[in-house]
Amino acid sequence: MAWTTVSAFARRFGIGRCPLRRPWGRLEAVLTGAALVAALMAVPVAAATGTAAHQQAMREAAEQETTGFQTVAVLTADAVPKVATTPAGTTVRGPVLVEATWRTAGGQQREGYVVAEAGTVQGTEVSVWLDENGDPSEPPLSAGQSVSSAVALSLRWLVVAETLIIGGWWMIRSVLVLLRVHAWGTEWAHVEPRWSREMGFR
């Protein structure tokens, strides 16, 4: 029963041998097989893409940890909230840039802007990550963040690849169906008069 179902599914999409299949049908079977192979191959490629991204992120994080360091900055102004209202009427408050001072690894005092939570008052110490030049920068990704980013990249890559493969297969198959219908119509135009005479309809 299961084999019959698989065979019917294969015939539905032009896979398998059929002595009555025309060239258009054989071409469709080849394209269907190629699309299936491509769809299956996209899975390990997506995994490899995510793995490469994870390894690259970990190398960059290790380099950041070697050249930069974490310290504290003292706010020299209040972190004034920037309020935004969404179309749904929800009020959103997020981190803001605020003036602050900090010291570099060499003890030099610097002034500039750091990220602080809205509403933080002047004089508050906030944690900042400094790069090799002593300027505030994004902290290195943790192992968990790197894995999450790599998984998200793999899934996005896989979705895009599968969409392109399936969409391309469907478009080509639709064109082949139109060509097959046109070929059948042309052949019927030649066969129908003789068939009608033989069957006594004319």
6: pLDDT strictly greater than 60: no
φ and ψ of 112, to 5 deg = 175, -150
pLDDT at position 7: 58
CB neighbours (10 Å) of residue 177?
A: 12
pLDDT at position 100: 94
CB 135 within 8 A of CB 114: no
Kindly indicate the confidence band of residue 174, based on its pLDDT and cuts at 50, 70 and 90: confident
The domain ranges of the chain are 24-61+145-198, 69-130
pLDDT at position 86: 55
- pTM beyond 0.75, yes or no: no
Kindly indicate the confidence band of residue 120, based on its pLDDT and cuts at 50, 70 and 90: confident
Amino acid code (one letter) for 114? V
Could you give the percent of the chain with pLDDT greater than 70? 78
62: pLDDT strictly greater than 60: yes
- Over residues 11-45, the pLDDT tens digits come to 555 555 555 556 666 777 788 889 999 999 999 99
pLDDT at position 5: 58
60 vs 164, higher pLDDT? 164
> What is the 3 state secondary structure string of the chain?
CHHHHHHHHHHHCCCCCCCCCCHHHHHHHHHHHHHHHHHHHHHHHHHHHHHHHHHHHHHHHHHHHHHCEEEEEEECCCCCCCEEECCCCCEEECCEEEEEEEECCCCCEEEEEEEECCCCCCCCEEEEEECCCCCEECCCCCHHHHHHHHHHHHHHHHHHHHHHHHHHHHHHHHHHHHHHHHHHHHHHHHHHHHHHHHCCCC
Amino acid code (one letter) for 178? L
* CA 149 vs CA 63, 68, 96, 139, 142: distances in Å: 18, 22, 24, 15, 11
Kindly indicate the confidence band of residue 166, based on its pLDDT and cuts at 50, 70 and 90: very high
pLDDT at position 55: 92
Please provide the average confidence, as pLDDT, over all residues in the chain.
81
127: pLDDT strictly greater than 60: yes
Closest among 70, 80, 77, 81 to 127, alpha carbons compared? 70
